[in-house]
Amino acid sequence: MKPILLKITAFGPFAKQTVLNFKEDLAGQDIFVVTGPTGAGKTTIFDAMCYALYGETSGGKRTGKELRSDFITADDIRTAVEFTFSVKGKTYEVMRAPQYSRKKKRGDGYTEVSSDQYIKEVGSTEPPLTKGGEVDAKVKEILGLDAKQFRKIVMIPQGDFKDFLMANTGDKEQILRQIFGTDLFRQLQDNLEKQAKRLKTSVLDTEKQIRAQFKSFKSCDEEGFNTLLKNNEQIKTLLDVCETEISKSLDEIKQLNQDVNDLKGSQQSAEKEYEAANKIVEKFIQLDKVVTKLAMLQEQLSHYTAISQKISFAKLAEEVRIEEKVVEDKQRSLNQTVLSLNTTKQELEKLTHDFEGAKVQYESIEALEKQMDSHQGTIQTLLSYEGDVIELVNHRQSIETLTQALKQGETELMKKTEVIALMKVTIDGMDDLQRQMFDETQDLNKVKLELQSLTSLEKQLDHLAKRLASYVNTKQNLKMIEEKLASVSHAVEKLGIEHQEMAMLHMNSQAIRLAKELKVDMPCPVCGSTEHPNPAPTDVDVPTTEMVQAKYREKETMQAQVQHVSNQKAEAMQKISLDEEQLQDLLNDLVSVFGTSTLESINTEKVVTKLADTKLLKEKLTAQHEKHQKNVTILETQFSEAKVQKDKLAVVQSQHDELEASLKGNQDKLKKEETLIEVIVKRVPLQFQDLVVLKDQLNREEEQRKTLVQQKSIIISNYQKLSNEIAAKNSTVDQLTTSHETQVEELNRATQSFNQCLSERFESQEIYSQSQLTKQEVQELEQDVKAYDQEVYATNQIMTTLQLELTDVVRPDLASYKEIVETIKVELEAKQKNLSEKNVTSKYNQDLINRIKESYEGIKKQEEQYAMVGDLAEMATGKGVGRMTFETYVLSSYFDEVLQQANERLQKMTAKRYYLLRREEVRGGGKKGLDLDVYDAHTCKTRAVNTLSGGESFKASLALALGLADTVQFNAGGIQLDTMFIDEGFGTLDSESLDQAIDILMDLQDNGRLIGVISHVAELKQQIPAKLIVESSPSGSTAYFKK
């Protein structure tokens, strides 16, 4: 990651927007010092970068909300940090604005302004990410580091520089785990430990479960079996005892099954004899019941005889009831006629009364017709005025229209006159415009030629700068490739020696194995000798074939890397040669610019300076070109407009003349309309000259006449209607009177017929009434009589049949038969119960032993697994002699690489006095394997790093941080650490140590890494030319680069 541009607004001590352009202002200088008075905001520069990337400050102690500037005078200024940076050839822009409180625009109090953020790739069509979590994840994906890692190896804040140096193994594990991604190894050791614990727990739990299951075994010798359990007898012994008991139980069950089958045969025979005797007894009982029932039916005979007589009287009453219904119908009809006759007479009286009133109204129709004629005359008079009034309205509208047209025409005529005057002025200035256009065009063409020349020069200089930068970068890469080639070549040589040694050991493995088996006075299996004066050493770890092959493959892989790096070196040298040729061609074309064509006399700074001067001149000429182009466009537009005005002048003049003629015609029409209005006003009364008033009066007259016509129609209609209704009612009265007389005669005849029928069938009206039954009641009584007769017949038939069947048959004693059946049943149930209990117990015991056997087999397998997994878990979790976990072991390999890189710089800074070592001893508690000691060449002793002085600690910390950065970049291809910021620490160094530290930093910039240092040390400021100056004032701080 390399910074390009940083914009800080209302952040910390920076009230106004501060813009720092690292790319342009540093211009080839990869190390700079941040200087300024205490509290001015030097650390805030680094805080802003870290906040933009991660939403946290470089020290991790302040939030974005706490960093809002106290120097802001206006609440509407938003605190924000915009940071543009490049990674692996891509440029990204990230912005964060924290939440803050501002005064409400209306009323008292404060309102919260929410936070905002985004990140985007410059030049990409992808939309920016705007959610906090998305921005954080994208930054981590681009840089390969989270905020904590970033502060440890890229941006080391004030006071935290020695944290990594002094951290114990546990703290270093957390940092290195995130950097080198060793979570997989930690998960492996955790999984092994969990699996070992799970297996051990499972074995113990299963054994407990088995012993608990044995307690459920139902033994015949319960006391003896419990004694075995209390003595914790072996599971195998308990299984043998249980299986012996189960076998014995199965024999007993077999004998019980035979006994049960025999008893079931005896039971079936006894039950058949009992059933036969029971059937005979049931027939004797049935015969007794039938005799009893027949006697009871004989007692009911008189009752059913009376019911039959009642049915006969009911049928006679039904015949009389028919005649009675005829009388009732005739009486109802007569009553209805009498009611209708009375009602009709009442209605006739009311109609007669209403007719008298209608007759009076009918006689007043003549007066209504006179009023109708009067209204008709008024309507005809008003209709005669209507035409004149309509004409009067039209003339008045014409006058109004003509008046408006005259006003508009006069206004339009005045405008046309002004337009004609302006057009003549524009046409008169066309010659001057043409001369100005010619002068501006000449100036424009001159500037355009100069601009084209500068554009071509800018492209050449830009091409030269990029090619020169590529050339320098390639040379730097060549140097790194040569160093890497030497390193991997040395590694190949070392791996070759290791492979040869392992191969020899493997070849001698048989001799070592035999040596281990040799014993005193025992013959050698090879030579037969009983003396073994010089056996092969047996304390050597013999490598396996797989280990030898793995070492060989490792050597081959490294050999392939040597070839790959060699190819890279050849490609780099070829590219350098090609770049030199292309640079020479470019310099030959630009000899007039630089005054020389030799490659040695040209550097990037000269080219960049010349390119910047060219761009500045080009910007000035571009501004002049745009100005002349704008003037030419304006003049051309004005000339074109003047030409158009000249063409339009005749048309506008013609329109002006037509307007004058139109105005004169409208004035004549207006006078004519006024004369016509005076004539009409004399014919129409004043109150009816308004058309609305006239129509209202006409409508009122027509409504009044219409009302009178309707009134007349209603009176005539009502008179005629009442006359017709009275005639109809008189006819209805006559008809009802005749019908009444006829119905009276019919009722008398029906009454005589009913009385005759009643006297013929019943002695009195009372007997007739008592004999009446409904059809349903008669049917129910008939069914009862029929059912009684059928039951008597059926009972006689059953009694006869039973008497025939039981002739000469003796009634048996059921009790003796039943006693035999019950005795066999009791004995059978006892046997079956015993058999069932034996079966349940046997099956339960068998299932229990099967489950125990299955669990017992599982214990054996788990014990075998635990024997292997337990050893691996103890080794991986550091519970063995070394007290180092598997992950720590892997991290120690990476850490050794870090220390190797760090010691190269530390020895340079300390004149080879100090050398960092990873502590090997394992005394004491806690995690071990990553703790640091320092070797002092002056005392030839090793001591803890916390015994170093302040200056020595700073140098060791700086060397360790740089070594960590180098190792991370080498091992993690996705992480590019080409920037480092250091906050303070140099004040603890003496002059010699300071020079050594500066040399180290200079070496880093030679490798293309950007180094930023915050320091008050004057010597450091003198030796580093590029400076980022931070100045404070009562209104806030400012920052700028100074070369």
Cβ neighbours around 406 below 10 Å, total: 16
The model's confidence at residue 526, banded by pLDDT at 50, 70 and 90, is very low
Angle between helices 604-683 and 365-428 (to 10 degrees): 140
Element (H, E) at 914: strand 914-918
Q: Would you state the pLDDT for residue 20? A: 93
State the pLDDT at residue 926. 59
First to last CA, the chain: 23
Quote the CA–CA distance of 345 and 350 in Å, as a whole number: 9
Q: DSSP 3-state assignment of 1037? A: coil
* pLDDT value for 91: 94
What does residue 111 show for φ and ψ, rounded to 5 degrees? -130, 145
Token pair, residue 690, equals 């308004």
**Structure tokens, 522:** 């025992």
Radius of gyration of the chain (CA): 65
Per-residue model confidence (pLDDT) at position 985: 58
Contact indicator for 576, 475 with CB cutoff of 8 Å: yes
Residue ranges covered by each domain of the chain: 1-154+978-1043, 162-186+878-976, 431-602
Please name the residue that has the structure tokens 């170093």.
948
- CA dihedral sign, ordered 378, 384, 389, 390: positive
Q: Round the average pLDDT of the chain to a whole number and report it.
A: 80
DSSP result, 293-353: HHHHHHHTHHHHHHHHHHHHHHHHHHHHHHHHHHHHHHHHHHHHHHHHHHHHHHHHHHHHH
818 token code pair: 């039943």
pLDDT band at 447 (very low <50, low <70, confident <90, very high): confident
Give residue 52's pLDDT: 92
Tokens of 910: 């300390």
Write out the E strands in 621-706.
Answer: none
Which sign does the torsion angle of CA 415, 419, 422, 428 carry? negative
Q: Stretch 889-895: mean pLDDT, rounded?
A: 82
Q: Indicate the pTM of the whole model.
A: 0.40
- What is the structure's pLDDT at 121? 93
Cβ neighbours of residue 441 under 8 Å, at least 6 residues apart?
Answer: 632
Own/partner pairs for 802-808, CB < 8 Å, 24+ apart? Answer: 802/283, 802/286, 802/287, 802/290, 803/287, 805/283, 806/283, 806/284, 806/287
Q: Which amino acid would we find at residue 994?
A: L
User: What mean pLDDT comes out for the span 209-219?
Assistant: 80
| Rounded CA separation 73/128 (Å) | 32
Over range 523-546, report the average pLDDT. Answer: 62
- Range of 51-65, 377-391, 531-545 with top mean pLDDT: 377-391
How far apart, in whole angstroms, are the C-alpha atoms of residue 348 and residue 346? 5
How far is the C-alpha of 411 from the C-alpha of 407, rounded, in Å? 6
Beta bridge partners of 129: 119
Task: Band the pLDDT of 939: cuts 50, 70, 90.
Answer: confident
CB 125 within 8 A of CB 155: no
Q: Is the pLDDT of residue 81 over 90?
A: yes
* Side-chain-side CA neighbours of residue 234 (13 Å): 3
Find the farthest-apart pair of alpha carbons in the chain and give their distance in angstroms, rounded: 174
Contact assessment for residue 40 and residue 1035, using Cβ atoms and an 8 Å cutoff:
no
What percent of the chain has a predicted confidence (pLDDT) above 70?
Answer: 90
Mean pLDDT, residues 1013-1034? 81
- Banded model confidence at residue 378, pLDDT cuts 50, 70, 90: confident
Residue 407 reports pLDDT greater than 60: yes
d(CA 170, CA 193) in angstroms, rounded, equals 19
Q: Are 1007 and 979 in contact (CB under 8 A)?
A: no
Q: Any idea which fold 1-154+978-1043 has?
A: Rossmann fold (3.40.50)
Average pLDDT over residues 831-849: 85
pLDDT band of 672, cuts 50, 70, 90: confident
Is the pLDDT at 512 greater than 60? The verdict is: no
Q: How far apart are CA 79 and CA 15, in angstroms?
A: 9
Query: In 3D, which of 36, 40, 60 has the Cα closest to residue 50?
Result: 60
d(CA 27, CA 29): 6
Q: One fold for both 1-154+978-1043 and 162-186+878-976? A: yes
Helix (H, G, I), strand (E, B) or coil at 219: coil
Neighbours of 440 (CB within 10 A): 20
Say which residue the tokens 């970033």 belong to.
150
Structure tokens at 344: 């009709």
CA angle, 121 then 124 then 130, to 5°: 50
Torsion-angle region of 89 (φ positive above 0: left; ψ -120 to 50: alpha; else: beta): left
Give me the sign of the Cα torsion angle 334, 336, 340, 342: positive
Pairing of strands 979-983, 1010-1014: parallel
Reported as a single tens digit per residue, the pLDDT across 732-742 is 888 888 888 88
> Which residue, among 485, 1006, 379, has the nearest Cα to 702 in the 3D structure?
379
Is residue 373 pLDDT above 50, yes or no?
yes
Question: Which pLDDT tens digit goes with each residue over 131-185?
Answer: 988 999 999 888 877 887 777 777 665 555 567 777 787 777 777 776 777 777 7
H helices of 429-508, in order, are 430-507
What lies within 8 Å, CB to CB, of 434 at 6+ separation is 639
Backbone phi, then psi, for 136, in 5-degree steps?
-60, -45
Q: 162-186+878-976 maps to which CATH number?
A: 3.40.50.300
DSSP SS3 for 83: strand
In this structure, of 107-116, 222-231, 593-602, 631-640, the range with the lowest mean pLDDT score is: 593-602
Is residue 5 a contact partner of residue 23, using CB atoms and an 8 Å limit?
yes
Give which of 795, 1036, 1012 is closest to 10, Cα–Cα.
1036
φ, ψ at 87 (rounded to 5°): -145, 120
Query: H or E segment at 965?
Result: helix 950-971
